[in-house]
């Protein structure tokens, strides 16, 4: 079982970057919810969130949540600002495991592929608290620039946010070898033929008139049983 913690950047009194009628905290939460929902289609994975609504959390609190859960992976989703354009991802700039580097390589590539037609700003490292304080492989993604008019136009599209989410999910699917849950096969009762329906009706009729008591339609009948049924038929039905 792979345990993942999804972190929607900012929240509550901290809106994050704000521009072009958008707030970072709202976009990150929307993307994270999409990611969690899509991951729910896969088996062998347990998804947790640092927040699922508009609330404020200190950076250290986010790391504590992941550490207490003993998560296998921590993913923090953000929107960039500062006059650029495109997508970039970060891991801690200190000592990190080879696994962390592999996860960044795989997930970064899938996000760029899923979104398409954007500037790939590269795989980077930084001393961000959520990367430094978490005790498991951790990745932070910066998904376009909220203060870039063209990027902001894309971020206003729910379909585009869904593309970003799918990219994150596809990356994790490859990184962790996830498989889709098998669809449960619906067991449908076969449709009864006209013959079966007539047998049902005959049994109910004979049962009501005391000729038979049990439905043993597929069992052989002895002469004694046949004599008894004919006797009951004559006594209970023919005399009516």
Give the residues across from 192 on adjacent strands: none
Given a contact cutoff of 8 angstroms between Cβ atoms, the answer to whether 209 and 223 are in contact is: no
Residue 43 annotated as catalytic: no
The DSSP line for 179-214 is: EEPPPPPP--PPPPPHHHHHHHHHHHHHHHTTS-SS
C-alpha span between 168 and 179 (Å, rounded): 15
From the list 24, 75, 28, the residue with the least C-alpha distance to 48 is 75
Q: Which of 24, 88, 133, 142 is catalytic?
A: 142
C-alpha span between 128 and 134 (Å, rounded): 10
From the list 49, 14, 15, 56, the residue with the least C-alpha distance to 33 is 49
Given a contact cutoff of 8 angstroms between Cβ atoms, the answer to whether 141 and 89 are in contact is: yes
Q: Catalytic positions, please?
A: 142
């Amino acid at each position: 079982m792979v345990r993942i913690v999804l972190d929607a950047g900012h929240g509550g009194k901290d809106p994050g970057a704000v521009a072009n009628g958008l707030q970072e905290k709202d976009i990150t939460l929307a993307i994270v919810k999409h990611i969690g929902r899509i991951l729910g289609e896969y088996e062998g994975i347990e998804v947790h969130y640092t927040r699922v609504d508009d609330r404020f959390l200190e950076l250290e609190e986010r790391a504590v949540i992941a550490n207490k859960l003993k998560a296998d992976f921590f993913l923090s989703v953000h929107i960039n600002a500062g006059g650029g354009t495109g997508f970039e991802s970060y891991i801690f700039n200190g000592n990190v495991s080879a696994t962390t580097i592999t996860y960044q390589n795989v997930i970064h590539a899938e996000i760029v592929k899923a979104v398409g037609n954007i500037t790939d700003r590269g795989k980077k490292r930084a001393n961000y608290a959520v990367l430094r304080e978490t005790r498991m492989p951790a990745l932070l993604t910066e998904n376009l620039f909220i203060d870039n008019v063209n990027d902001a136009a894309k971020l206003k599209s729910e379909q585009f946010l869904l593309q970003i989410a799918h990219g994150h999910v596809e990356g994790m699917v490859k990184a962790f070898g996830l498989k889709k849950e098998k669809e449960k096969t619906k067991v449908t009762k076969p449709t009864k033929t006209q013959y079966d329906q007539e047998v049902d009706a005959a049994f109910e009729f004979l049962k009501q008139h005391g000729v038979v008591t049990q439905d043993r339609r597929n069992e052989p009948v002895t002469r004694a049983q046949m004599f008894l049924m004919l006797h009951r038929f004559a006594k209970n039905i023919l005399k009516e």
